[in-house]
Chains A and B, each alone.
Chain A
């Protein structure tokens, strides 16, 4: 695991797993742990205010996304008894979404400008539509799609899948040319580019 201690505050501790790429323009504060092959776009903001944020593998966090841990009490507790915000793998956080949920599972898609509040727990394969607000749900059922101006829900029949890993393959090659990246000590594994 590459470790990067930085920030003037001293409490910022970010652990970036092998293969994960974090752009230097992204704002990361507090204790954040990334898994493998994540990509954090510039201008994303991940703020672990009240407690640490653990992010799983292959998560794609696009521009202007705000992931903030403002939990006052949570089931999971971290090392010094601070509530933990845990995010699973293969999640796609599209542009401009605001995530405060305390627990997010795998294979979810958060479309642009959606807002997920802290009481929510998102399971597997959900799609939160663009500009949808999830303010007071306890636990979203699996494979649920939230859409429309009234935040309508329906259970989707398809298998859950996201393009997060596909996007990672495409962007990891070119990111170096166009963005300043936070340097990791361990080099990234070679991504498989699908033959087209």
Chain B
């Protein structure tokens, strides 16, 4: 009979760890800082922009280049109807051959087509292009000149304000310098020369604000709005807002949209400022340069049994599984947490007493024959296989309705390899006793 591992209930929200900031989240969503030896969740990590990339062509670019391109990819185009990727299709047309009028040449012309909604560039009347890429020109933005004038005006305003700020700083400094002078009783005329050496120019006259004068009378609404509205021809609001520069009311004016870039981020510990998560340079790669995930450093706790709801005030046997992520064997202690410490707890748990031993994680274990799944030396361990153990606990819900929530404290030995690397000569990793607070949600009470 093949020994099959009893499956974990893989609901991601079943077991939550309390992060160093106090929030609860599953272990799969947390990082572990090896320097501060604490869990960091999504909220107690500072996120920085690493780079930008296009989701379609996977072209990576730094922040400055992305800003220049307005966070859009230059090559990839999206369908204006459904924002799906546009793919290039070829169609051959016969073109009269200048050399021999009897034999027409077949020329390949390209058009863009959406795979999801079957929109093509022919729907808006765009002629097919002779080249597959590079000729898909964007329509001109009618408001571009006005926007440029406005930007120039506000940039000049900003530079004037900056100069004013600098001048205020310098004058404040100047005042303190004269005060020092009064104390010594001497006046230094060289102050004025030092002031002028800062090179502040006199303020430039501000540019005139580019105001558009309001119209005195508006043209009347054309009759078209009252009589003919083809709903199938008009664009929807999301489609219009995707093209804010033109916002065309008609579908026939919807041009292909450049694909928006996607952000890649670094996670940095707020406590010690070390990088916790840094992706690989290539956007298409799933590897990380730095990957300090909690799953690789903190024992993973899961629920094995029972699958049925627990009954109120009945002591039930609950089996939880703990797996050791490190390549060193560890010892583990489980203690219950009193209700006074946490508000949400609705059941009491009696975990096994004493030290639980966990073997090291062996990457070759999945390829080898499974060793006997016996309990090993510890009494409370129900099942053991390589780095995983199943432990029996007893849970008594003491609320008749709602979810059964238990809290545990797990203390374990963590082998820190970072400090060993830093100090030369020491090969043994420093072992520290860490403890984490767990909240397990065992489902609703059986009604």
Contact = CB atoms under 8 A, between A and B. Distances in A.
Asked if A and B are interacting partners, one says yes
Interface in B116-130: 116-120, 122-123
B127 to A, nearest CB: 14
Contacts of B120: 157-158
B82 interface: yes
B202 interface: no
Contacts of B118: 127, 145, 147, 154, 156, 158
Contact of B81 (A127, A129, A154, A158): A154
B116 A148 contact: yes
Contacts of A148: 82, 116-117
A158 B117 CA distance: 11
A154 B118 CA distance: 9
B232 A155 contact: yes
Contacts, number: 28
What band does the interface of chain A fall in when counting residues whose beta carbon is under 8 Å from B? 10 to 19
B93 to A, nearest CB: 15
Interface in A105-140: 127, 129
Nearest to A143: B118
A152 interface: yes
A157 B232 CA distance: 13
A156 B251 CA distance: 13
A157 B81 contact: no
Interface in A151-185: 152, 154-158
A127 B82 CA distance: 15
Nearest to A156: B118
Contacts of A158: 118, 120, 122
Contacts of A157: 120, 122-123
Given A145-B117, A147-B116, A152 B123 contact: no
A154 B236 CA distance: 12
Interface in A15-74: none
A152 B82 CA distance: 9
A81 B82 CA distance: 45
A20 to B, nearest CB: 29
A157 B118 CA distance: 8
A48 B303 CA distance: 47
A61 B394 CA distance: 55
Most chain B beta carbons < 10 A, residue from A147, A148, A152, A156: A147
Given A147-B82, A148-B82, A154 B117 contact: yes
B252 to A, nearest CB: 11
Contacts of B123: 157
A123 to B, nearest CB: 16
A129 B116 CA distance: 7
Nearest to A155: B232
B80 to A, nearest CB: 12
Most chain A beta carbons < 10 A, residue from B117, B120, B122: B117
B157 to A, nearest CB: 45
Contacts of B232: 154-155
Contacts of A147: 82, 116-118
A48 B232 CA distance: 37
B40 to A, nearest CB: 35
Interface string B111-152: 000001111101100000000000000000000000000000
Contacts of B81: 154
Contacts of A127: 118
A194 to B, nearest CB: 15
Contacts of B116: 129, 147-148
A65 to B, nearest CB: 21
Contacts of A145: 117-118
A152 B235 CA distance: 13
Interface in B13-36: none
A148 B79 CA distance: 13
A129 B120 CA distance: 17
A156 B122 CA distance: 11
A46 B391 CA distance: 51
A67 B122 CA distance: 35
Most chain B beta carbons < 10 A, residue from A129, A152, A154: A154
Nearest to B81: A154
Contacts of A129: 116
Contacts of A156: 117-119
A157 B82 CA distance: 16
Contacts of B119: 154, 156
A152 B122 contact: no
B233 to A, nearest CB: 10
Nearest to B122: A157
A129 B119 CA distance: 13
A152 B120 CA distance: 17
A126 to B, nearest CB: 10
A4 B359 CA distance: 64
Interface string B74-95: 0000000110000000000000
A32 to B, nearest CB: 31
Most chain A beta carbons < 10 A, residue from B81, B118, B119: B118
B54 to A, nearest CB: 22
8 contacts: A147-B117, A147-B118, A148-B82, A148-B117, A154-B81, A156-B119, A157-B122, A158-B120
Given A145-B118, A148-B116, A154-B118, 13 more contacts: A127-B118, A129-B116, A145-B117, A147-B118, A152-B117, A154-B119, A154-B232, A155-B232, A156-B117, A156-B118, A157-B120, A157-B122, A158-B120
The 5 closest A-B pairs by CB, nearest first: A156-B118, A147-B117, A145-B118, A157-B123, A147-B116
